[in-house]
Amino acid sequence: MFVTGNDLLDPGSALGRRSATGARFGMRAAPDGSLAGLMMHPLNLMAWAMIFSGFPNFVTPGTPALQATAAIAICLLSLQVMLHPIWTLAGDRIARTVAGSTAKKI
């Protein structure tokens, strides 16, 4: 397995590539489960960037750490609840559009 620049931004992409490559060579690769995804979160640089940019931009100086953490967590969770269904719906529509065409490589 090799590492690309994208793996540094999204470490989970390396797991997906490994499974897809194994399937390409005739090996049955089990899909990565929720535990593998959960273990990758501490390595997700985009999440760390959101956290580090969220605190100075949205929390006033002197706010207790627990209150600031709860405020950022609530904001990020509410965004996730709203945007995740839209993201998955768009991915489903794209997958249906390219299914069976030359645009779909894997």
Distance CA 100, CA 58 (A): 46
DSSP state of 6: H
| Its pTM surpasses 0.85 | no
Q: Domain tally for the chain?
A: 2
pLDDT tens column, 23-47:
555 556 666 777 877 777 778 888 8
pLDDT, tens only, 63-102: 898 998 888 889 888 998 999 999 999 989 988 888 877 7
For residues 64 and 97, membership in a common domain is answered with yes
Same domain, residue pair 96 and 56: yes
Asked if 56 and 101 sit in the same domain, the reply is: yes
